[in-house]
Amino acid sequence: MINTDVAVIGGGPAGLSAAIAAADMGAHVTIIDRNHELGGQLLKQTHMFFGSREEYASTRGFDIANILKEELKERSVEVLLNTTAVGYYKDDGVWALEEGEDKFVKLKAKKTIVATGAMERHLLFPNNDLPGIYGAGAVQTLMNQYGVMPGKKVLMVGAGNIGLIVSYQLLQAGVEVSAIIDAAPAIGGYLVHASKVRRQGVPILTSYTVKRAYGNEVLEGATIVKVDEGFRQIPGTEIDMDIDTMCIAVGLNPLVELLWQAGCKMRYIPQLGGHVPVKDEDYETTVKGIYVAGDAAEIEEATSAMVEGRLAGLNAAHAIGFDNGNYAREKDNALKRLNALRSGPVGAKIRNGLLKLAEEAV
Ligand SMILES: Cc1cc2nc3c(=O)[nH]c(=O)nc-3n(C[C@H](O)[C@H](O)[C@H](O)COP(=O)(O)OP(=O)(O)OC[C@H]3O[C@@H](n4cnc5c(N)ncnc54)[C@H](O)[C@@H]3O)c2cc1C
């Protein structure tokens, strides 16, 4: 049995920031990640971030991961890699961890922060399981982490920020992006990203979806079709695409199975990405001692995930009784940064979602 003050499940930007903050308060911290490396989504992000200097603006995602990992090394945080949290025993508050493929260990923590991130959504259409059809995250991992091109001619499904950014990265790797389609009537991502791919001659077709994919053993092509304002397919508008790769970037869902299992109260809030845990202002869920941060709390961005992680780490350590004298100031500073990140029209969706969650929490 491993005993610790604060366990952090997930070593992405939220989890790393949580671990650093809790360790700074004086807590013994154990961070667990199922991957062989800490960093979460940041590891595959080669583009530079937006935002302010405090949130590492103009720094590439994988460099941010390296900065956070260096900060973690300077603190005595226990790191468990290749280790997946697979269950929670409610009666005695013990987490079940699977180390590698066949070793199970128990972990008991005074407080736990769940920072497991998100999973990609898929789309329903005939033959959607043909090899050659990927989630955008998988394509990023192949290209940016392992240097493997996913194919030669790609159809990107989804014109949100992820679809646009991954399309640009595909172009940079020398892959042809035949088109970007989106069922919505307008481009969902930032126009700065859309302009970059358009300048390379990639058409962005809004109000289009995938009718079907085809191929014998692997993807050989797809038919796309226009949809009306009710997302119904319009017969006669089909276009055949000669592609060998399809990349699905139609959104993310919070990865919250562990929270369901622990009995946390959950609510369905579309603006936050689906089912999300009810939490208080300290990021504690309705199960005492279990905190949440980052994409597992709501689908947002790495910058806000880092600040939320920081808040959850400070609060979890403080609730045990740790304080290096800076708790109140650090918490106040983080709350101000989070509010600033969520201000203006870009933050409206998240603000509305959080309001709805607060209303439905009772
Ligand atoms: C293509 C793309 C571009 C993006 N660009 C930007 C950008 O420019 N700026 C920005 O701010 N954000 C950006 N984001 C969003 C950002 O990457 C995420 O919001 C952020 O990574 C969320 O951080 P997180 O720590 O919550 O989750 P993640 O980064 O997903 O980390 C979760 C970690 O938990 C681990 N884990 C999951 N389940 C378990 C388990 N059961 N046991 C142990 N470990 C587990 C995973 O291995 C992973 O390491 C982008 C995302 C994508 C996909």
How many domains does the chain divide into?
2
- Ligand 1 pocket: which of 104, 301, 342, 346 to mutate (most atoms within 8 A of CB): 301
By three-state DSSP, how is residue 103 classified?
A: strand
Co-location of 244 and 281 in the same domain: no
Measured distance CA(64)–CA(218) in Å, rounded: 36
pTM of the model: 0.93
- pLDDT for res 51: 67
Query: Rounded mean pLDDT of the chain?
Result: 95
Roughly what angle, to the nearest 10 degrees, separates helices 302-320 and 61-73?
Answer: 20
Q: 303 CA distance to ligand 1 centroid (A)?
A: 11
* The pair of three-digit structure tokens given for residue 271, joined into one six-digit string: 């603006």
* The pair of three-digit structure tokens given for residue 346, joined into one six-digit string: 């870009």
Q: What residue numbers bound the domain in which 352 lies? A: 2-119+252-359
Domain boundary among 249, 266, 292: 249
What pLDDT digit, counting tens, does each position of 21-80 carry? 999 999 999 999 999 999 999 999 888 887 667 778 889 999 999 999 999 999 989 999
Measured distance CA(115)–CA(20) in Å, rounded: 13
Q: Which residues line the pocket of ligand 1, CB cutoff 6 A?
A: 9-15, 32-35, 40-41, 45, 47, 49, 84-85, 115-118, 136-137, 140, 162, 165-166, 255, 294-296, 300-303, 305
Co-location of 271 and 243 in the same domain: no
- Which residues of the chain are under the pLDDT cut of 70? 51-52
Task: Fill in the amino acid letter for 255.
Answer: L
Co-location of 135 and 102 in the same domain: no
Q: 208 CA distance to ligand 1 centroid (A)?
A: 28
Measured distance CA(232)–CA(211) in Å, rounded: 11
- Ligand 1 pocket: which of 43, 97, 116, 279 to mutate (most atoms within 8 A of CB): 116
Co-location of 233 and 320 in the same domain: no
- 42 closest CA partner among 82, 67, 12, 70: 12
Domain boundary among 233, 249, 265: 249
Co-location of 191 and 256 in the same domain: no
CATH number for 139:
3.50.50.60
Co-location of 129 and 165 in the same domain: yes
